[in-house]
Structure 1
Amino acid sequence: MAKINGNELKPGTIIDHDGGLWAAVKVTHVKPGKGGAFAQAELKNLRDGRKLNERFRSEDKVDQVDLEMKDQQFLYETDGKLVFMDTETYEQIELDAELLGDRRPFLQDGMTVAVQYYGEEPLNVRLPVKVTCKVVESEPVQNGQTASKSYKPAVLDNGVRIMVPPFIDIDEDVIVNTDTMEYSERA
C-alpha cells in the first residue's frame, strides 16, 4: 500500500482506514482563515456500505490501496445495482449504484469504465475523466458578458447543473470533467 498525504485524496480514491476499505465519495478541500488546510472527505465502506465523514490534514498520511483495474462495459441499472460486463470473458458483475455518488449521472449506457478489484472482489468504478454531454437548458447570452470571467448556469441531458461560458447554447455538446464536475471544453 502506498502512503499519500491527506490533501491528495480525491473522489474515487480507495484507502485503508480504521481497519476497512473505504472509497472517497466526496472530497472538499478547505482553507480556513486560521489553522492549516484540510480535506473534508465523505467516505463509504466498500464492504458494508457504512458512511463516514473524516478530516485529513495535509501532514496526515493515509494508506491508498492498490487495486487491479479491468475495463468493463456498463450494461444497465436495476434495483440500485449497476451491472457491468467484462469485455473479454463476458462475465457480468453487480456493484452498488451509490458507489459513484454525485458522479452517477455521467455513467452512460455502453460506456467502458475501469472496475477496480481487490483480489477477486470488485469494489469500485472509475469513470473516464472526460465525458461528452448535451446542454438541454441554458440562459440566453446577455449583452456585455465576456467569455473571460463570466459563466452562466446550464442543465445537461443527464440532469446535472453546471456552469458554462456564455457562448455555449442549447443543443451543444460539451465535455465535462467527471472528477470536478465542471465544464472542460466544447465537444
Structure 2
Amino acid sequence: MKLEALQIRKGNIIEFEGGLWRVLKTEHTKPGKGGAFIQAELKNIETGTKTNHRFRSEEKVEKAVVEPRPMQFLYHDGAHYVFMDQETYDQVTIGEDVLEGSTDFLLPNTEVEVLFHNERPIGIELPKAVELKVVEAEPVVKGQTASASYKPAEVETGVTVMVPPFVESGDVIRVNPADGTYEDRVK
C-alpha cells in the first residue's frame, strides 16, 4: 500500500531502501522557497540503526504489510516482554529493542495489538488511552491558577507526565501513550 509522505505518522512501519523501518518522529516543514517536505527519523527493524530522511511532500512511500493480532501483555523478564494470544494462548517473546518507546505505558494484563510481518513480531500498538496510577505528585501551591499551569507527576510505570494541579498521589489518570499527554482523571 502506497502512502503519500504527508500521511507518514509516528509508529508507521514502511518499506524503505530494501528494509523495514519504524517511523520514530516526523516533522512537516514548509520553507519560504521550494516545496514542503517531511523530515522523518527512522529506525531499521532488522539492524536497529537510525537515520533521518527528508521526503518531498508529493513522494510516495510503501507502507509495510503488517498483521495486527490482539494479545495481552503478561510480564517483563528483564530483556524480553512476553505476550499471550487471547484465542490460542500461545506466548510470544519480544525483545526490548523492538519495543523501544512503547514500554513506558505498558502494564501487565494490558491488551495490545502485536504487529507481525511474515509471521515475525516487529512491534506493538498500544490502546488509544491507558489508565495509570499516580505514585508521586508535587503538592498544590496556594495562589497558583488552574489555567495553563501543569506539574510533573510520576505514574506507576516510572514515567513522568505533566498533569493539572488538582491531580494528587493515588489518583488514577488517563494518558495518551502516543505522546505521553494527560487526558483526564479517572478517580
TM-score of the superposition, structure 1-length normalised? 0.85
Among residues 26, 29, 33, which one is paired with 2:27 in the alignment? 29
Cα contact 2:29–2:39 (8 A) shared by 1: no
Cα 1:179–1:61 change in 2 (3 A) is same
1:174 aligns with 2:178: no
Aligned to 2:96: 97
1:74 corresponds in structure 2 to 73
Structure 2: gaps (5+ residues): none
Q: 1:82 to 1:152 in 2, by over 3 A?
A: same
Q: Which residue of 2 aligns with 1:18?
A: 17
- Secondary structure of 1:116's aligned partner: strand
How much identity, in percent, do the aligned residues show? 43
Which amino acid in 2 is paired with 1:160? V
> Aligned partners of 2:4, 2:31: CA distance in 1, in Å?
25
Specify the alignment match of 1:131 in structure 2.
130
Alignment match, 1:4? 4
* Structure with higher RCO (Cα < 8 A, 6+ apart): 1
Runs of 4+ off more than 4 Å: 30-40
Gapped regions of structure 1 (runs ≥ 5): none
When the two chains are superposed, the root-mean-square deviation of aligned CA atoms in Å is 2.3
Residue 70 of structure 1, CA deviation: 0.6
CA contact (8 A) 2:102 2:124 kept: no
Corresponding residue pairs, total? 185
One-letter identity of the residue aligned with 1:29: E
Instruction: Between 127-136 and 44-53, report the one with greater CA deviation.
Output: 44-53
Amino acid paired to 2:98: L
CA gap 1:129/1:57 in 2 versus in 1, 3 angstroms: farther
State the secondary structure of the residue aligned to 1:105. helix
Q: Structure 1, residues 62-96: CA drift from partner, whole Å, max 9, x if none?
A: 22223111101112223522221111112222222
Aligned with 1:99: secondary structure? coil
Shift of 1:22: 0.9
Q: Secondary structure at the match of 1:185?
A: strand
Which one-letter code corresponds to 1:3 in the other structure?
L
User: After superposition, what is the alpha-carbon deviation per residue over 1:38-80, rounded to whole angstroms, capped at 9, x for unaligned?
Assistant: 5543322222333223344544432222311110111222352
Q: Distance in 1 between matches of 2:32 and 2:115?
A: 38
**1:37 to 1:175, Cα distance in 2 relative to 1, 3 A:** farther
The answer to whether the 8 Å contact 1:2/1:65 transfers is: no
